[in-house]
Chain A
Amino acid sequence: MLERVISFDPAAYSLETIQRAAYRYIDKFSIGFNVKEASIDCILQFDKEVDDLDGVIQDFRKEVLDQHLRARIAKETESIRHLILAHAFSRTGLV
């Protein structure tokens, strides 16, 4: 099994952000974490069918950036999102 370790700066990215990004690669690698003060190390173990390891890692890094941005949107819009959904479902009897 091919293994690679990549690191992220915990000051810039939360563990949750990285975990969310990793979920999308569930069919390509399994992941373990080593959380230290200065870095979050991700131990990636690739499935044997994956041949373009570098391509997948590059993609994963972009996905972490995207997740970071998503978390920002989610945090800022959480209350309005709930308000809209409550309004939308208010007459259905489901909420």
Chain B
Amino acid sequence: MSKFLPPESFAATGAYDLLPFNFTRLEGDSYLATNMVGESLIVDRSTLDDLVNKRLAPSHPSYTDARAKHLIAEKGDKASAELLALKTRTRYQRLQNFTNLHMFVTTLRCDHSCQYCQVSRQSEDKGAFDMTLEMADKSLDMVFRSPSKAVKIEFQGGEPLLNFDLIRYIVSKAKVRAAAEGRDLEIVIATTLSLATTEILEYCRDNHILLSVSLDGPSDLHNKNRPRPGKDSYQRFVANLQAAREIVGYDRVSALMTTTLASLPRVREIVDEYVGLGFEGIFLRALSPYGFAVKTRVYAAYDTEQWLKFYKDGLQYIIELNQAGIPFREYYTTLILQKMFTCADPGFVDLMNPAGIGIAAVVFNYDGSVYASDESRMLAEMKDQTFRLGSVLENTYEEIFLNEKLLSTLEESFTLSAPMCSECAFEPFCGADPVFSHAVYGDVVGRKPASDFCKRNMAIFRHLIQLMREDREVEALFRRWSALC
């Protein structure tokens, strides 16, 4: 007798059970079907009908695909459900680690006065807007209560370099504790670079600190978006970028941009600026509906449709650059593609389910307050303290992280139970953004059909799928992007 079963044993029988999957109409007669981990299939309506009603013949071209993508399992096949469970577990693996990104707002003071900035203060008053040593110590105690083996500390502001002594203090203490506990420590400073001196940069080099810098586009646009005394934000940026790359390391510096009304017609120039300055990609971000951006009406200055046009134009241009032999990526697209093509969750706060607040990231503010996310503290600047979890000076770790508001928000906004999300084929690619919903609609779930968050993401998902269906080269490029990070 052979050790192996004959090939007929593996042939499709045509008798199958359904596995959990969702579907959503794309355009015309096409439907996207996805399982719980985002494995997907595009079929027409009659094939979908046959699939669900168990009439799909094994000879149908979609049959094998539906099996391979775990939308159906042949009778008696237990392995498919087990594999799906394993992949689902991989997808939610992050949850075990709980919080790994800890943001420290070392000061609210800033040398810039950006119109869209939510929080910064033009003040010399260190006492009023700087984090104290005691708060830093207590915050560090919380950081090292996290079960995560990998600990990431990100310094935010204001301009965090204005309180560099405190950064040194926190870094030296965090390093000692991480070494003693055998944890991996990653440190990032989010800065405009305008105040970066050689001494600061050398310190960053010696302590393996990453720099996340701000670049909004060509000189005139950057200076308009980011006013500072001397009107030289861009010039300082370029000079200090070069110094930072030389001292800290070329690949230790990444950039972030903010899209204002003035940016909208200029996406190609913005991308050119990034390419010209040697960056490998760009994050085309929409303005958030918080803080000064709302107060000064900058947020309302453009709507989702306008931003989507900006994004689509930018992405098209980036594809053209790649086709012309210039490798360059759009990072939001890359995050989504990772979710489309792999079981791993990239852990981006806006695209996580359960929501990333408190779980993926937590903010220690300059005044000792702890917030569930960066957006939560911006909301607090508008006198909305909904997502303030407590204070490092007054509350214990348990009181902060078992905060009723945090837990109920996570539960209510869980996309597998939220109306519309729970049956949306894009759900595995999307996330829950309760702070956005709360800020705009007043409840943490929001009505998805009217939500800008849903509208924006759904339009992007549809667009990416369409681009890949229209052009195999684009699909190959997107697959490469998703495999890169």
Contact = CB atoms under 8 A, between A and B. Distances in A.
B52 A23 contact: no
A72 B354 CA distance: 26
A66 B85 contact: no
Interface residues of B, number: 30
A23 B445 CA distance: 14
A73 B81 CA distance: 15
A94 B21 contact: no
24 contacts: A23-B449, A24-B449, A26-B447, A27-B449, A66-B23, A69-B49, A70-B22, A72-B52, A73-B52, A74-B20, A76-B17, A77-B18, A77-B20, A77-B21, A81-B20, A84-B81, A85-B88, A85-B416, A88-B89, A88-B92, A91-B89, A91-B96, A92-B92, A93-B96
Contacts of B346: none
Interface in B295-315: none
A20 B81 CA distance: 28
Given A26-B449, A69-B49, A84 B96 contact: no
B92 A89 contact: yes
Contacts of B19: 77, 80
A88 B52 contact: no
A13 B382 CA distance: 47
A24 to B, nearest CB: 5
A81 B21 CA distance: 9
A20 to B, nearest CB: 8
A92 B18 contact: no
A62 B84 contact: no
B88 A84 contact: yes
B222 interface: no
B313 to A, nearest CB: 26
Interface residues of A, number: 29
Most buried by A among B53, B81, B91: B81
A11 interface: no
Contact of B420 (A24, A84, A91): A24
Contacts, number: 73
Contacts of A73: 18, 20-22, 52
Interface in B1-26: 17-23, 25
B79 interface: no
A88 B449 CA distance: 29
A48 interface: no
B96 A92 contact: yes
A23 B419 CA distance: 8
Interface in A52-95: 62, 66-67, 69-70, 72-74, 76-77, 80-81, 83-85, 87-89, 91-94
A33 interface: no
B450 interface: yes
Interface of A is mostly: helix
Given A23-B449, A26-B449, A92-B95, A84 B25 contact: no
A91 B25 CA distance: 35
Contacts of A8: none
A89 B21 CA distance: 19
Contacts of B355: none
Given A26-B447, A77-B19, A77-B20, 10 more contacts: A24-B420, A62-B25, A66-B25, A69-B52, A70-B22, A73-B20, A76-B18, A83-B85, A88-B85, A89-B92
B423 interface: yes
Contact of A70 (B96, B419, B423): B423
Interface string B71-92: 0000000000100110011011
A21 to B, nearest CB: 10
B36 interface: yes
